[in-house]
Structure 1
């Protein structure tokens, strides 16, 4: 990371950035106050002035990664209006983020967002806004919209999780299978639109 940050000029963002650098290099086991302090060239107590221990550190890192992911997805889908194109671009953006930053993706998806939490609620609302953009042309009721959102999220997250775990061992391109799944999601959303609640 370059020269160590002096303890007195250390900011919370410095700590988070160092933690993400450790995460990228070494995986989730590196998300600890002691490891991040070594990365910064400081003593661990200096971090406690900004984040109260490992749980707070992991939370701050997860929130930052969520913000990075949302911005990544926004850039990948900017200017698109067609719902199917949005779904494909959003699905590709999520998978590309997971491939580019596998440790970040795991930390992000293991962190539970809560609408009652003032720090995480805006992130959930941003994800909901995107999914509503994808699904708006289907004119779904609120119940059907929730079903469709859950299905899309479960399919994409599940595929990526299984892929990252190395469990897709059959001789078939995972890229091709992912494209088929996205196409199938379009058909499944149309099915949700037609069925009675």
Structure 2
């Protein structure tokens, strides 16, 4: 990337490429030096566009959460209840395999008291809204929706992270195990 083309958005794009190249640990290992090296500039040049590594990580997380929300929305549009949750789970898993570094970035929780996290918080709220829509078919009390989302998210995340890190050593079919896990979560949500 030529130096003249460097913008906040371009720096974010380079950081996303660096994160993706790093696999499941790419987000954790993101550095300004790696981004500068990929952009073909010195680290101080980045400070014209991002204020810190935390700022850059926030930008990567915001873009990643937005992308994942679009993936979930696309998978669940016109669906609700069990069908929507199965489609959402499959879509998240597939996206995590395609973009493990970005997937890791989606696990950043915004600090709602920090103005710098306002956009990240907005994008996270959009994800929750999409998942809440998918849960409408369960007729949950509003107070149980967050519990249901946390259950689903925890199940998907645990499975995906074990899968990405090679934590499943047995030769049995992982797709079947994932389906059974999600069916179990759906049954538990139905009981809420």
Q: Tell me the CA shift for residue 40 of structure 1.
A: 1.4
Where does residue 88 of structure 1 map in the other structure?
A: 86
In structure 2, C-alpha distance between the alignment counterparts of 1:70 and 1:143, rounded to whole Å:
22
Residue 6 of structure 1: which of 3, 7, 11 is its match?
Answer: 3
Gaps of 5+ in 2: none
Larger Rg computed on CA atoms: 1
In structure 2, C-alpha distance between the alignment counterparts of 1:64 and 1:166, rounded to whole Å:
27
Residues 1:115 and 1:142: Cα distance change in structure 2 (over 3 Å)? farther
Q: Deviations over 1:95-145 (max 9, x none)?
A: 001110112212222x11344442122222212212211221222222222
Q: Deviations over 1:136-162 (max 9, x none)?
A: 122222222222121111111111112
Q: Which has the higher contact order (CA 8 A, sep 6+)?
A: 2
RMSD: 1.8
Where does residue 190 of structure 1 map in the other structure?
A: 190
In structure 2, C-alpha distance between the alignment counterparts of 1:97 and 1:183, rounded to whole Å:
20
Where does residue 176 of structure 2 map in the other structure?
A: 176
Does the Cα contact within 8 Å between 2:76 and 2:134 map onto a contact in 1?
A: no
In structure 2, C-alpha distance between the alignment counterparts of 1:101 and 1:119, rounded to whole Å:
22
Gaps of 5+ in 1: 193-197
Q: How many residues align?
A: 186
TM-score (norm 2): 0.88
In structure 1, C-alpha distance between the alignment counterparts of 2:183 and 2:27, rounded to whole Å:
33
